A = this chain, B = another copy of it.
Amino acid sequence: MTSLETLGEFGWIERISNIIPIQHENTIKAIGDDAAVINIPQDEQLLISTDTMVEGVHFDLSFHPVAHLGFKAITTAISDIYAMNGFAKQVLVSLAISSKVTVEFLDEFYRGVKIACKKYEVDLIGGDTTSTQRGIVINVTAIGTQKPRRIVYRNGAQENDLIVVTGDLGGAFMGLQILNREKAVFAQHPEAQPELGGYEYILQRQLKPECRLDVINQLDALDIIPTSMIDISDGLSSEALHLAKQSNKGMIIYEDKLPLDDLTRDTANMLGYDPTTVALNGGEDYELLFTVPQSAEEKLRNLPDFTIIGYVDSPVEGSNLISRGKNKYPLTAQGWNHFKE
């Protein structure tokens, strides 16, 4: 294994700037100067967001493959650009790592970064590599662009708009429970092989999540501009309440409409979790939650990526879940609060 000291910080920067090719002609200068330089198309606005992942809080290296971690760092950051209905174009990746980290570790991390950059057509244009006394902190800044009239904020939901969610919910959370279970078994029985077979879908949702560029492209093709949108990092309930609060509206969500994959449901039942709670509060699925006028229903109805789960209510009604038994329960944000863990 090669220590980072051997290579030095600038040796390392040269190494990564040669790994990942630039895809956008608007990336004028990437890694290698004091700042990166970008052209913004004349009729578009800049979208920018930043995300931090901390070892021991957001990821566990005892089961998170390093390349998947690099992939996830990119997809979770650019998901915020898609959540504005924008197109992600560039990322900056900052790593604070112990000097004990090897070059092989970084090569593997950036292999994942490269796969995500290629798949989602974003350029790695900069970053910063510094040392910590212990642990790893990853920070990714994502940059995108969109025409002003197509940018979607959280505050535009209108009463009677439909609430739509993409993909399925709760998988990432159940994947994490399986990983934690196997980690606990391993702690007791180091000779045991982890039993991960059959859980591939929910493990991928946790360890190597995709993000929904395909949805942004579909909305564009369908000529649908949502009235409000957010990505689901903290859980459906929590994100729906953000849209409700910032739009000054209420939300009605139907339990029987919540999209769950069969594996998520079966694993929840097996491990003693309520599947509805998992779908509402699981978090980390990086699906999109948005509202659209009712006129969009026809266009969305038969598309497998979209599920209409409710409608926007008046603010005096608040935000509520309608259960299978037709009872009304207030929606509460029980998303992942890292400060409470």
Contact = CB atoms under 8 A, between A and B. Distances in A.
Interface of A: 4-5, 8-9, 28-29, 32-40, 42, 45-54, 56-58, 80-81, 83-84, 86, 90, 92, 94, 96, 99, 125-128, 130-135, 137, 139, 141-144, 148, 151, 153-155, 229-231, 246, 337-341
* Residue with the greatest number of chain B CB neighbours at <10 A, chosen from A36, A58, A139: A139
Contacts of A92: 48-50, 141
Contacts of A231: 34
Contacts of A42: 42
A337 B8 contact: yes
A331 to B, nearest CB: 15
Contacts of A35: 47-49, 80-81, 83-84, 86, 142, 144
A154 B94 contact: no
A96 B52 contact: yes
Contacts of A58: 130
A50 B96 contact: no
A58 B36 CA distance: 23
Contacts of A48: 35-36, 38, 90, 92, 125-126, 141, 143
A127 B50 contact: yes
B57 A130 contact: yes
A148 B34 CA distance: 15
Contacts of A137: 52, 54, 96, 132, 137, 139
B50 A9 contact: no
A38 B46 CA distance: 5
